[in-house]
Amino acid sequence: MHLGNVHPKNPTARREFAGLVLSDSHYPGRLRQPRHGHEPASFSLVLEGGYSETVALKTFDCRPATVIFRPPDETHSVAFADAPVRIFRLDVRPQWLERFGLSQTGAPAAAAGGPRAWLALRLYREMQEADEFSPLAVEGLALELWAETARESAREASARPPRWVERAREMLREQQPAGALTLGEIAAEVGVHPSRLAHEFRRCYRVTAGEYLRRLRVERAAHALAASALSLSEVAAAAGFYDQSHMTNAFKRATGATPAEYRAAFRAAQSRPS
């Protein structure tokens, strides 16, 4: 991820596989970069550190286990936090998309700790341990990552939620795990009947409010697994799960990896020099 005239602290590790460019870079803390663009579509996985990125009219809080998608030629600006940042990036060139008949359009999007983060982390591992099978593995993982992102974009574009539904989703995101609001309390706050809230939430976001809350718990757990030294049981409690077993089952369903596998993969990435 080259940012104008600012170069990574260490040289970028880079590999190319038939139109897919994979890179691993370190950046200094407190970096500020004004709005600029890149030709190919891209995904960035935060391995270490944190920063704020504005793409189009959306601003994303990027922490470890966050994946950001940028459409082709989309401009963005970046503001890094105080600590150094490490980013794994996948650039998707137009010829690769054309080969598979994939659309180059799409909206900027962020995913925190779900299946897209696990797919991106597996792509990082393929870049580091390249062998004769890596081109096939990289292509398959990139297709999965593109499909996951396109599917989520289609869900969000299928229905424009009323402002009160968006507010209900914001309330779910803002609440602390230990103080979960009931559907009735959220409905009262936004001024609708609970049954209407349940119906409209599912229509707009293709998940129930309960399913969305479970997704948020997995996101919290993923960030903690990637960026903290908390034990698995402590991560489970902090994210709002009943216990470690509950977290393991939910995490495996959401990402395809257990919390222990997820943490081990991130630790290996963070300890490997680029």
Query: Using alpha carbons only, what angle is made at residue 250 by residues 249 and 255, rounded to the nearest 5 degrees?
Result: 105
Mean of pLDDT values over 137-156:
88
Query: Which one, of 52, 60, 111, lies nearest residue 81 by Cα?
Result: 52
pLDDT band at 130 (very low <50, low <70, confident <90, very high): confident
Position 272 pLDDT exceeds 80: no
Rounded Cα distance between 245 and 165, Å, is 32
pLDDT of res. 1? 36
Mean of pLDDT values over 31-59:
88
As a whole number, the mean pLDDT across the chain is 86
pLDDT band at 179 (very low <50, low <70, confident <90, very high): low
Rounded Cα distance between 223 and 50, Å, is 11
pLDDT of res. 176? 64
pLDDT of res. 74? 84
pLDDT band at 85 (very low <50, low <70, confident <90, very high): very high
Position 2 pLDDT exceeds 70: no
Mean of pLDDT values over 178-193:
84
Q: Which residue has the higher pLDDT, 151 or 159?
A: 151
Mean of pLDDT values over 86-91:
95
What is the percentage of the chain residues whose pLDDT exceeds 90? 48
Lowest mean pLDDT among 7-21, 130-144, 240-254: 7-21
pLDDT of res. 252? 93
Query: Which one, of 79, 17, 92, 14, lies nearest residue 49 by Cα?
Result: 79
pLDDT of res. 225? 93
pLDDT band at 250 (very low <50, low <70, confident <90, very high): very high
Residues 6 or more apart whose Cβ sits within 8 Å of residue 164: 190, 191, 192
pLDDT of res. 274? 56
Mean of pLDDT values over 34-38:
82
**SS3 track for 111-177:** EECCHHHHHHHHHHHHHHCCCCCHHHHHHHHHHHHHHHHHHHHHHHHCCCCCHHHHHHHHHHHHCCH
Residues 6 or more apart whose Cβ sits within 8 Å of residue 234: none
Rounded Cα distance between 190 and 77, Å, is 33
pLDDT band at 6 (very low <50, low <70, confident <90, very high): very low
pLDDT in tens, 220-245: 999 999 989 999 999 999 998 989 99
